[in-house]
């Protein structure tokens, strides 16, 4: 697995639906909160209710899904649909529930990103079979089971969170090396 190339300002702007949201500051990390699992379950229920059998898979991913790991208090959810590029098949139903499409990355697994109506979430939508889903789940499961890599990842996150970033994506890109290293271990 190659390290992803960091996105430049132009690529961030192209992927944004509307104006990209700037951070111009530091990332705020919170200690793990067990309530994050409840927030995920509420969102999962709302997503399943909106999409019905169009949901192929929905999972809690990211740092809020790993007990004991400090995280941005944003619930990351990955959703698999038949074809994420076929927005007409699922976007109107999500929008009816007040989810807002904010990112469209046609050149990265046809990824779509939504924000939630009343909880701070990142709803990542991919097509069924996208390898990124498997990587997200392997990373999550490995961090849940491996205290040393969980501590390493948290150390890197805390270091990076103490810096100023133009966009949250810049912070995410800066974590790529440690995520790739940990994911390699998870796949062994």
Specify the pLDDT at position 12.
Answer: 84
Query: Can you give the residue ranges of every domain in the chain?
Result: 9-187
Q: How far is residue 84 CA from its own chain's centroid?
A: 15
More confident residue, 39 or 8: 39
Give the model's confidence band at 149: pLDDT under 50 very low, under 70 low, under 90 confident, else very high: very high
- pLDDT for 81 equals 98
**13 vs 126, which has greater pLDDT?**
126
The rounded distance, in Å, linking the Cα atoms of 160 and 118 is 28
The whole-number average pLDDT for the span 61-65 is: 98
Could you give the CA distance from residue 90 to residue 92 in angstroms, rounded to a whole number? 6
Task: Check residue 5 and give its pLDDT.
Answer: 59
9-187 in CATH: which number? 3.30.460.10
Q: How much is the pTM? A: 0.93
d(CA 116, CA 119): 6
- The answer on pLDDT for 9 being more than 90 is no
Q: Would you state the pLDDT for residue 7?
A: 74
Which comes out higher in pLDDT, residue 10 or 36? Answer: 36
Read off the pLDDT of residues 89-143 as tens digits, 9 standing for 90 and up: 999 999 999 999 999 999 999 999 999 999 999 999 999 999 999 999 999 999 9
pLDDT value of residue 2: 47
Q: What is the pLDDT of residue 164?
A: 97
Residue 82 has pLDDT above 90, yes or no: yes
For the purposes of burial, counting CB atoms within 10 Å of the CB of 19, is it exposed (0-12), middle (13-18) or buried (19 or more)?
exposed
- pLDDT given at position 175: 96
């Amino acid at each position: 697995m190659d390290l992803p190339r960091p996105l430049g300002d132009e690529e961030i702007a192209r992927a944004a639906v509307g104006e990209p949201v700037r951070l111009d500051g530091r990332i705020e990390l919170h200690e793990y909160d067990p309530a994050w699992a409840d927030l995920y379950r509420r969102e999962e229920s709302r997503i399943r209710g909106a999409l019905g059998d169009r949901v192929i898979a929905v999972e809690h991913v990211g740092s809020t899904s790993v007990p004991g790991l400090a995280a941005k208090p944003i619930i990351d959810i990955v959703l698999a649909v038949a074809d994420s590029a076929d927005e007409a098949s699922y976007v109107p139903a999500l929008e009816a529930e007040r989810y807002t499409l904010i990112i469209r990355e046609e050149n990265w697994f046809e990824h779509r990103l939504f924000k939630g109506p009343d909880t701070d979430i990142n709803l990542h939508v991919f097509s069924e079979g996208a390898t990124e889903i498997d990587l997200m789940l392997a990373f999550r499961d490995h961090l849940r089971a491996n205290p040393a890599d969980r501590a390493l990842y948290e150390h890197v996150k805390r270091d990076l969170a103490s810096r100023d970033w133009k966009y949250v994506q810049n912070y995410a890109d800066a974590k790529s090396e440690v995520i790739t290293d940990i994911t390699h271990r998870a796949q062994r």
